[in-house]
A and B are shown apart, each in its own frame.
Chain A
Amino acid sequence: MEDLFLNIARILHCWLVSGGLSAIGADLVLLLIKWISILGIVTMNVIVLIWLERKVSGFIQQRLGPNRLGPYGAFQTIADALKLLTKEDIIPAGTDRWIFMTAPMFFIVVAVMLYLVLPLGKDMTIVNLNVGLFYFISLGSLSTICLLMAGWASNNKWSLMGAMRSVAQMVSYEIPLAFSLLGVVMITGSLNLSDIVAAQSRFWFVLLQPVAFVTYFIAATAELNRGPFDMPEGEQELTAGVYTEYSGMRWALFFLAEYTNLVAVSALASTLFFGGWKGPFLPSWIWIILKTYLVMLVFMWLKWTFPRIRMDHLMSLSWRVLIPVSLANVLVTGVGIEFFRWMGW
């Protein structure tokens, strides 16, 4: 079980080479297959996630949640996805047509590209980048540009307002997000996510870097545009924010990408702070799924119990609290590392 996916990949590789492909060609085809399977897993996973979110919110709100279609309403999301697929693709007059149409596509592409560097199990990284963490953070901030595209191209006041909020939020929260991860990087001395997992063989970094974890968690919630920081959508004041003019599958793509981002950010959190795929008894890929889902449940819990924060409070939280705290964390970590070295541990 442990090497299930690795064996599949090895068998496929042998099969391709024996089919007459060169070794490099076989690698490329294999990469393509990995990509497509990631896409498939991501979309299927979102269906499960939406169902889970509905059930979790139902539990929090003392409701039943979906319970008609399939066991425990499991097929409800599939029915919803089919409905969205068959809906008319409305592009309102006065929009910047091409930007309007491509924004959701870029959004989902950026979201899926995050999975490229995540260690999804023992030796299961699609591309083992030595600057994996850097890649993840820089790509994560790209999604804001897609929101800005959508907001600008919609030619709608609500959308523009939402887009501006999302940019302001990104500019403020990218900094504490990056600084909070620096502590982990300083301890391991590597930006490679596989190395970071390997460094947590004795204890999880959440024990060494609790402040960094809390900062990361708050900043990541803001980066994800999830409640209580769902400013760009801000349903009560901005109707649907950047998504106001979108309908049908394009809207669904935004939705899909948001959940994809949620999974990626939660997977990163479990990789950096909870030992990644490391765990006893079960295969490594099951451990990472378990940990990721646990982190996601906390995100959902937050969303369904908290009111939305106000935009200026959001800004002051970032600049007055999170950035100083994360900077102090970097300082303390540096001093701590030097101290440990001096002690000769």
Chain B
Amino acid sequence: MTTLFDTDQYIINIGPQHPSTHGGLHVEALLDGEEVQEAIVHLGYVHRSLEKIAESRTYTQFIPYASRMDYLATHLPTLGYVQAVEKLMGIEVPERAEYIRIIVGELSRIASHMLFVGSLAIDLGATTGLVYCLRDRELIMNLFEMSSGQRLLASYARVGGFAEDLPEEFFPALQAFLDKLPTMVEEYHGLLTGNEILQARCRGIGVLTADMAVAYGVTGPNLRASGVAYDLRKDDPYGIYERFDFKIPLGERGDCWDRLMVRVEEIEESGRIIRQALKDLPGGEIRSKVPRILKPEKGLEVYYRIESAKGELGYFLVSDGGEKPYRIHIRAPSFINLMALGPISRGGKLQDIIANIATLDPVLGESDR
């Protein structure tokens, strides 16, 4: 029997055109008043068929496309791709290039996490937080500009190393950035994490339990915030990561607060890794001898995964002996992490969906590919 006090379900489409959906994300929210009964994620608005494009490009030509997936951590997807090709063909990389890979990769991670903190701040309504984080990220962008001439989409990595060596002025600038890093993080704590309202908006919101996270295949900082110590840099070290000493920050409850704090701590840990790499940086070649046209043998296939800023980024390459890959599949962490958005938003408030999207930290360019 329906009475006067029965309410209808209210369906609201958050996105794809919306201030806080980080690109073309579309969340269909079924509401009862302000309470969320169901949140359904619709994807594909930024689909550019990158995997298909790869089949009509040579192995080298795909490098710029790779950086257009996770454009916020530009070096990590390109490095992952380049390393996958190297593994496919058995190419050795000079020691100096390995160290520089660590440096630019971790810088990308810091840039991505800084933008995460800023975009979480603005999604919760604290406009100033965004500006502070963007100001600091700008220093990293300047470093990228020095290394490759590009700021946002630096296609710096090549198969076998890098396009060219780092310029002289890169190192003092990097050192200055590292010196400032603790002050920056302190400022975020003062402005954002110390704020009562932000704590109330994040603590206990969007809880992703460890079991659920594993069941959904969530990786990266989101998984670590749930208390699962899984980081490919430690658990399946690639490159030269086993030479460095760093911690894996862990959360306890897997709520928005833990996801925020894990990333802030990861910024500091990445800073530590860069400091170590900078100390041991050897001289020498930046790129090994690689044939101009890459032709892996027919029937070779490889799966290579790295710990990107968003989670486990995997490349599956199949060669048919030609100069173009036969098939590329990309395991995009943002895509898989986003699948947890519905379950963690259920039962929360409308405003919590926004916080959940922000703390899952998806990049739609990567999830839609």
Interface residue ranges, A against B (CB under 8 Å) = 57, 60-63, 157-158, 161, 227-228, 230, 234-237, 239, 304-313
Contact = CB atoms under 8 A, between A and B. Distances in A.
A312 B34 contact: yes
B128 A305 contact: yes
B19 A236 contact: yes
Contacts, number: 82
Contact of A310 (B18, B19, B132, B349): B349
5 contacts: A61-B127, A62-B132, A307-B125, A307-B129, A313-B200
B57 interface: no
Nearest to A309: B197
Given A309-B197, A310-B200, A237 B351 contact: yes
A53 B230 CA distance: 46
B353 A304 contact: no
B206 to A, nearest CB: 13
Interface residues of B, number: 33
A307 B198 contact: yes
A313 B132 CA distance: 27
A305 B126 CA distance: 6
A236 B120 CA distance: 11
A198 B135 CA distance: 50
Sorted nearest first, the 3 A-B pairs with minimum C-beta distance are A308-B125, A307-B126, A307-B124
Contacts of A60: 128
B36 to A, nearest CB: 11
Given A161-B12, A308-B125, A63 B353 contact: no
Between B12, B122, B125, B349, the greatest number of chain A beta carbons within 10 A of the residue's beta carbon is seen for B125
Interface string B333-369: 0000000000000000111111000000000000000
A310 B125 CA distance: 10
Given A161-B12, A236-B354, A312-B34, A304 B128 contact: yes
A98 B228 CA distance: 58
Contacts of B192: 307
Contacts of B41: none
Nearest to A60: B128
Contacts of B40: none
A158 B31 CA distance: 12
Contacts of A309: 197, 200-201
B14 to A, nearest CB: 8
B301 interface: no
Contact of A306 (B126, B349, B352): B126
B49 interface: no
A304 B121 CA distance: 12
